[in-house]
Amino acid sequence: MNGVIIINKPQKFTSFDVVAVIRKLTGQRKIGHTGTLDPNATGVLPILLGNATKAQDIVPNHDKSYTAKFRLGMTTDTLDIWGAVTPQSDKTATEADVLSALENFRGEIEQLPPMYSAIKVNGQRLYDLARQGKEVERKPRKVTVYRLELKDFDEESQSGTLNISCSKGTYIRTIIDDLGKILKTGAVMTALCRTAACGYNLADSITLETARELAEKGEISEHIMRTETLFASYRKIYVSDAQAKRFSNGGELDMLRTALAKAKAQDKEIIRVSDRQGKFLGLGIADNESGQLKILKLFLN
């Protein structure tokens, strides 16, 4: 059983918890995931089965999208509703105030990673240090926010919802915490749902409950997408039978003898390679100096 199944991760499950459930339902021992979600977050979590686990370290860096809920007037040590409450504020904000403050977070911005994060400093995870009551110096990181919309805001409860599309490594909690600092109200994230990641969205996903029902009916395989879908953003070429055999056996391909002779590849461009029947063989990487399409990864079984 090879491919990708997209799970809408429920709250209070770790990403590894979801992997364990799908392993049991599919009987596939070779299994993993890409794009870790925090236990309290929900949404798109791609589970890799069989040969798809080979892709774990080479999945394209797609942008990610989230729906996040927030509340003004409070702060916590984790920057979300599940942390220990720190000093609160009686100051309030209007919807116009929030809209104006959000202008500071569009485009390329610098973020200070939260202490409760998996980033390592001197070999130690920040969240391990935070749990010991320690705070260490962190370096700001550049991230890009492509879309940031205020979906709703209730001035009475001082609560709202954001729709966000951003680059990999963006901390939504930090955006909300920084929003609270600009408004001088404080702010915490109260819910987070990832709506798109790794080229998949919520419409591609199923719940764990649905996965269990499908497994009982023997139909779960119908919801497993081909491994190749992980690389849909890469260009694809079809090769001859002889070239397919050579590539499958670890040989390089002369790009002038493929479709890349006309539609030339950029140096180091990653290319999907399929045989004439459309079977996905693997990924090649263009080496313009030698004129060869070298093997990046094979996905033959």
Catalytic residue set: 38
DSSP string, the chain: --EEEEEEEPTT--HHHHHHHHHHHH--SSEEESS---TT-EEEEEEEEGGGGGGTTT-----EEEEEEEEES-EETTSBTTS-EE--------HHHHHHHHGGGSEEEEE---SSSS-EETTEEHHHHHHTT-------EEEEEEEEEEEEEETTTTEEEEEEEE-TT--HHHHHHHHHHHHTS-EEEEEEEEEEETTEEGGG-B-HHHHHHHHHHT-GGGGPBPGGGGGTTSEEEE--HHHHHHHHTT--EEGGGSGGGTSPPPTT-EEEEE-TT--EEEEEEEETTTTEEEEEEE---
For residues 146, 152, 157, 159, the Cα torsion angle rounded to the nearest 10 degrees is: -20
d(C-alpha 198, C-alpha 63), whole Å? 7
Contact in structure between 261 and 255 (CB atoms under 8 Å): yes
| Residues in a beta bridge with 126 | none
